[in-house]
Amino acid sequence: MLLRYTTVLTLASALLQPPGVLFLLVMFGWLSEVLGWRYCGRTLIILALGILYFFSTAIGARLLLMPLENRYPTLNQPLTGAERPEAIVVLGGGEVMDMDSPHSRLETANARTLVRLMAAARLANRTQLPVVPSGGAPRFGVAAEATTMAHILRQDFHVTSPIWPETHSYNTAANAADSSALLAAHHIQKIYLVTSALHMPRAVAWFRLSHLEVIPVPTDYRLNRVRELKLDSWLPRAIFMEISSEACHEYLGLLWLWLQEQGLGNGN
């Protein structure tokens, strides 16, 4: 049942964000043409092409990305005194095949997860707080992402503080719920939360809904924040479409969270 639910959510997300939503617009435009609604059909096709172009430029990607990445400032110094959190939670961002052992089908952290782990390790080595890497198995028969993350924290980033892997979660909401349950066993309610800046608004919202006090530690910024926009910022490139798609995924996630909250607020 859970697998079916997550599959439906994954399919819906793919169709509602670029490039899936653009294919839907073109398909509806083509169907409108077939049915004789030429004005409507051509409008949809032109709209899809316009969105494709805009989302594929640095201008479009930046307009989508910045409201998410600028929501929380970077953490320059760990907090002290009464404001000091009691643990560090770092969220998994995906895995890739471990090319050091390709025949064993082992996986290791991808670049995004490594950047998050680097930030968490730096914070852990400065504070000596326990670290909770959060992420379940990406598919049946392989190790949980949190297990891989814990190994990297210990072996590659030399974290000496306690590491408590949370190995069951399959999305951000589950990251929050399962990490909260694990931390409750240690009587911890205030945490540093480490994830990509793009992902941080949604992650913070879910963790606060799970009754945790959150100090955001954003990392893995997707665009060069120093380089000014120039004429070539209007040129379409695949990397900007990827960033735009990720930003749309986050906005959809925030919308889904808002709908969930409305349902809870109405007693449904």
- pLDDT digits 0-9 by tens, 73-126: 999 899 988 889 999 999 999 888 765 655 555 778 899 999 999 999 999 999
- pLDDT digits 0-9 by tens, 175-230: 999 999 999 999 999 999 999 999 999 999 999 999 999 999 999 999 876 667 78
- 3-state SS of 102-153 is HHHCCEEECHHHHHHHHHHHHHHHHHCCCEEEECCCCCCCCCCHHHHHHHHH
68 close to 201: Cβ distance less than 8 angstroms:
yes
DSSP, residue by residue, 6-48: HHHHHHHHHHHSTTHHHHHHHHHHHHHHHTT-HHHHHHHHHHH
- Domains of the chain by residue range: 2-69+233-265, 81-219
How much is the average pLDDT of 38-56?
93
CA 249 – CA 17 distance, rounded (Å): 6
Share of the chain above pLDDT 70, in %: 88
Residue 19 confidence (pLDDT): 84
pTM: 0.87
Is the model's pLDDT at 268 over the cut of 50? no
CA 118 – CA 219 distance, rounded (Å): 9
Architecture field, domain 81-219:
3-Layer(aba) Sandwich (3.40)
In one-letter notation, the amino acid at residue 112 is R
CA 182 – CA 169 distance, rounded (Å): 12
